[in-house]
Structure 1
Amino acid sequence: MASTKPILISGGGIASLLLAQALRLADIPFKIFERDASFVFRAQGYRLRLSNEGLDAIESVLDAPTWEKFWNKCGKTGGVGFSAFNAVTGEQTEHIVPEGLASRGGKVVGIARGDMRAVFAGGCEDNIEWSRNVTGYELTGDGVRAIFSDGTKSVEGSMLIGGEGIYSKVARQLSGGKLKVYDTGSRGIHGQAPSTAFKGLGEGVFRLMDNTRPEGAIMIITNIRPGDMDDPNIQFGWTMGGRPGAIRAPNDDYSIVGKEAAKIAKDLTQNWHPRFKPLFDEMDEENAAFWKITCSTPSGVPEWPNEPRVTVIGDAVHSMTPAGGIGANTAVRDSALLGRLLREAGGFAPGVTAAYEKEMRIYGSAAVRESYSTAVGQFGGKIDEATTPTV
């Protein structure tokens, strides 16, 4: 029998919001607790590439109007493939058309994280409590309460889903510390610029590599879709990544955003070929932000004693590097799987979290291993589970 107590969701990222959509459409009550004051409180990150698995998971959750809105927000890059360039000389070093990049219709499908978050929040806004930082939980006789950083507690829920990312306190408590996120030492910067700044590259998926820096190699990845390159009001994004020591923030403060982060990106690329300079010269400085390249345990998602009323989704359970664009696609698979199990059960039911975790561990572990092994080649920063620091 369905419980009238809401399902509590910690964090308002894409995995949490997609799960909320599944609950909303199944008429299962829920509440979302988001630590930020709004969706525009901080930079939303880079553009996400969506695989067939990710798109299938999203479509399985959304109703037809919301799916259409989401699909229309996605950019579809044609089958021109992947090109790599020497960022300093401008010389093309590689061109391939790998099947793995494309998804529906032979297109590379991508969407900005902020756009994705906004679509998934549709119809759920009244269920979001802002500035609510979840630091743990307590089980009651027949429910659970979230505990906030100010010491207050939430209403009693039938379940708690931890979806608050790599710093998840819910994940730490639930797993007894078994869920860990390692700091690889590699760093990056997110940036974006008017689409007109990308015209020198054209349509496709591009990697710009600079191996000349003594501190270590850095590179840019960007996905440029057609149709919008003449409209300066539309922005495209890029993601910079570097090996350990190659990208440094003042005082190692990687919470820096805005003009200070933008200036560092411009300084790092000041000797790049003129063809690529507009990406930085014309960048939207306010939206620049640092990020750490982190990864969950490369050997796979660990096991912990199942708690029927608490589980975790997305980066809280399987954080990944940006290599291969696997993380977001795996996170939405979590939302679709857990949402389906809850819909079928009519809400909380014994066995739901165990069934979810059993299946999630299989595809989640495989995704983490693939992401990590790819990132070692691109960014360095190998993880030794005995000595590498955690976040």
Structure 2
Amino acid sequence: MAAIARKPILTLARVSSLLLGQALLRASIPFRIFEKDASIQFRAQGYRLRLSSAGLDAIESVLGPDGFQKFWDVCGKTGGVGFSAIDAITGEPLEDALPSYASTEKKADGAPEAAAAKIRETLVSRGGLVVGISRGDMRRIFLEGCESSVEWGRQVTGYELTETGVVAIFADGSKSIEGELLVGGEGLYSSVAEQLSGGALKVYDTGARGIHGQAPTTAFKGLGEGVWRVADSTRPNGNVFIITNIRPGDKDDESLEFGWTMGAQPGVIQPPNDDYTITGAPAAKIAKSLTENWHPRLKPLFEQMVESEAAFWKITCSTPAGVPEWKNQPRVTVIGDAAHSMTPAGGIGANTAVRDSALLGKLLAETGGYSDGVTAAYEKVMRVYASEAVGISYGLATSQFGITIDENTPTIRRSYRV
């Protein structure tokens, strides 16, 4: 008797969804990925992602030994020198290199302890190395083998449940094929997250903005190998800093570029019309104006920057208390930024997203596809580690970016259509 063909798992693309696709591919589970971008080349700009041990373990569990080795070979590794901080104006070292925040532990009765423990940003992962990869390279590797399952230019605005599955609704009003399960992994503005949680999943706009930039390796000669944090506390309207990772194997290759990421307190970086999606010259111009008084050893990073690669980014965060509860829907769930948006502080967001992919992929592989209870099991475990990660990311951001989320903090607009 011929086996009954299963309906596919439907997932909405970002990095975490592509890794989930790899897990489903290895388990021979049919799937479709809906990506609103026109192609893999569409989103060229993007900063380098730092990978923790937990993030690397998750990726390896999905890709397997051979696939992970290919991924590992593309990653940049920095070691030995570690994290260094310098004053942007004087060029002199700063004593407290690693950002931290005070975390007050609670007693069993809920009352806070008298002493506050300092939580510091963790840089190193496997082998004592700082491991990073560009977002573009990560997407490219995770896409390999899944190309035939991707539908480009497909923006999902909601979903409908059927008697035997679920369908995605696209922006043009059309609908997808029926799937067994829909996984919303489409990022901050996830319509699926809004519909699934009834608005419980909130993303706050902290008001802080950043700029990503790139420059030839020759521009970084004044720093040398290491992970560098450059801080400028002289501006009257708020602090500015950049973080950059200078890898030893690449620093003498003039054909390569290194990236840097600029952050600032709310109101310091102001994109035209607050349109953080603008790229190129407007972002480069603001970065240069903010650093015009910086030390000569740092000026080449901006004077030589590749203006076309400059991009603004918005600093957002989910509810700092953690991932909220919502009524479980067996046929729909969310992963990555759709479930838990984080600030860039700590470099935790991408690592948590790939943990989602590995966990959900493992649960689906164990049952050969959708089964009752799989989304509930995933969400129960995800809420624990993701809530911890959001709390750390927010805590570090209060120190690095000077942000505060309270009842007056605006949320970004998530919408859905059914």
TM interval, short-chain normalised:
over 0.9
Q: Does 1:260 align with 2:261?
A: no
Distance 1:345 1:178 in 2: 29
Distance 1:100 1:2 in 2: 48
Q: Does 1:387 align with 2:372?
A: no
Distance 2:25 2:145 in 1: 8
**300-309 vs 249-258, which deviates more?**
249-258
Distance 1:236 1:316 in 2: 29
Alpha-carbon distance, 1:306 to partner: 0.5
Structure 2 CA distance for partners of 1:329 and 1:2, relative to 1, 3 Å: farther
Alpha-carbon distance, 1:125 to partner: 1.0
Alpha-carbon distance, 1:277 to partner: 1.2
**168-177 vs 78-87, which deviates more?**
78-87
TM (normalized to structure 2)? 0.91
Aligned to 2:8: 6
Amino acid at match of 1:390: T
Distance 1:69 1:240 in 2: 30
Aligned to 2:93: 92
Alpha-carbon distance, 1:2 to partner: 8.3
Q: Deviations over 1:293-323 (max 9, x none)?
A: 1000001100011011100000000000000
Count of residues in Structure 1 that have an aligned counterpart in Structure 2? 389
Q: Does 1:249 align with 2:251?
A: no
Q: Does 1:83 align with 2:105?
A: no
TM (normalized to structure 1)? 0.97
Contact 1:87–1:210 (Cα < 8 Å) also in 2: yes
Structure 2 CA distance for partners of 1:88 and 1:303, relative to 1, 3 Å: same
Structure 2 CA distance for partners of 1:362 and 1:3, relative to 1, 3 Å: farther
Matching of residues 31-70 of structure 1 within 5 Å: 31-70=32-71
Alpha-carbon distance, 1:263 to partner: 1.3
Stretches of structure 2 that go unaligned for 5 or more consecutive residues are 99-119, 413-418
SS in 1 for 2:235: coil
SS in 2 for 1:343: helix
Structure 2 CA distance for partners of 1:14 and 1:249, relative to 1, 3 Å: same
Distance 2:288 2:81 in 1: 28
SS in 1 for 2:188: helix
Contact 2:97–2:229 (Cα < 8 Å) also in 1: no
Q: Does 1:281 align with 2:282?
A: no
Matching of residues 326-365 of structure 1 within 5 Å: 326-365=348-387
Matching of residues 272-311 of structure 1 within 5 Å: 272-311=294-333
Instruction: Report the identity percentage.
Output: 69
SS in 2 for 1:62: helix
Alpha-carbon distance, 1:3 to partner: 6.0
Amino acid at match of 1:388: T
Contact 1:81–1:95 (Cα < 8 Å) also in 2: no
**57-66 vs 21-30, which deviates more?**
57-66
Contact 2:216–2:256 (Cα < 8 Å) also in 1: yes
Q: Does 1:325 align with 2:347?
A: yes
Distance 1:183 1:38 in 2: 28
Aligned to 1:208: 230
**278-287 vs 165-174, which deviates more?**
278-287
Distance 1:330 1:213 in 2: 34
Contact 1:2–1:347 (Cα < 8 Å) also in 2: no
Distance 1:95 1:210 in 2: 14
**232-241 vs 359-368, which deviates more?**
232-241
SS in 1 for 2:94: strand
Contact 1:50–1:103 (Cα < 8 Å) also in 2: yes
Amino acid at match of 2:25: R
Contact 1:3–1:348 (Cα < 8 Å) also in 2: no
Q: Does 1:102 align with 2:124?
A: yes
SS in 1 for 2:10: strand
Alpha-carbon distance, 1:251 to partner: 2.0
Contact 2:52–2:124 (Cα < 8 Å) also in 1: yes
Q: Does 1:231 align with 2:265?
A: no
Q: Residue 159 of structure 1: which of 181, 196, 199 is its match?
A: 181
Contact 2:240–2:262 (Cα < 8 Å) also in 1: yes
Structure 2 CA distance for partners of 1:44 and 1:335, relative to 1, 3 Å: farther
SS in 2 for 1:267: helix
Aligned to 1:143: 165
Amino acid at match of 1:46: Y
Distance 1:346 1:353 in 2: 14
Stretches of structure 1 that go unaligned for 5 or more consecutive residues are none
Amino acid at match of 1:40: Q
Alpha-carbon distance, 1:205 to partner: 0.9
Alpha-carbon distance, 1:324 to partner: 0.6
Amino acid at match of 1:358: K
Q: Deviations over 1:123-173 (max 9, x none)?
A: 111111111000000001111000011101001111100000010000000
Contact 1:81–1:96 (Cα < 8 Å) also in 2: no
Distance 2:221 2:24 in 1: 42
- Alignment RMSD: 1.5
Distance 1:255 1:327 in 2: 20
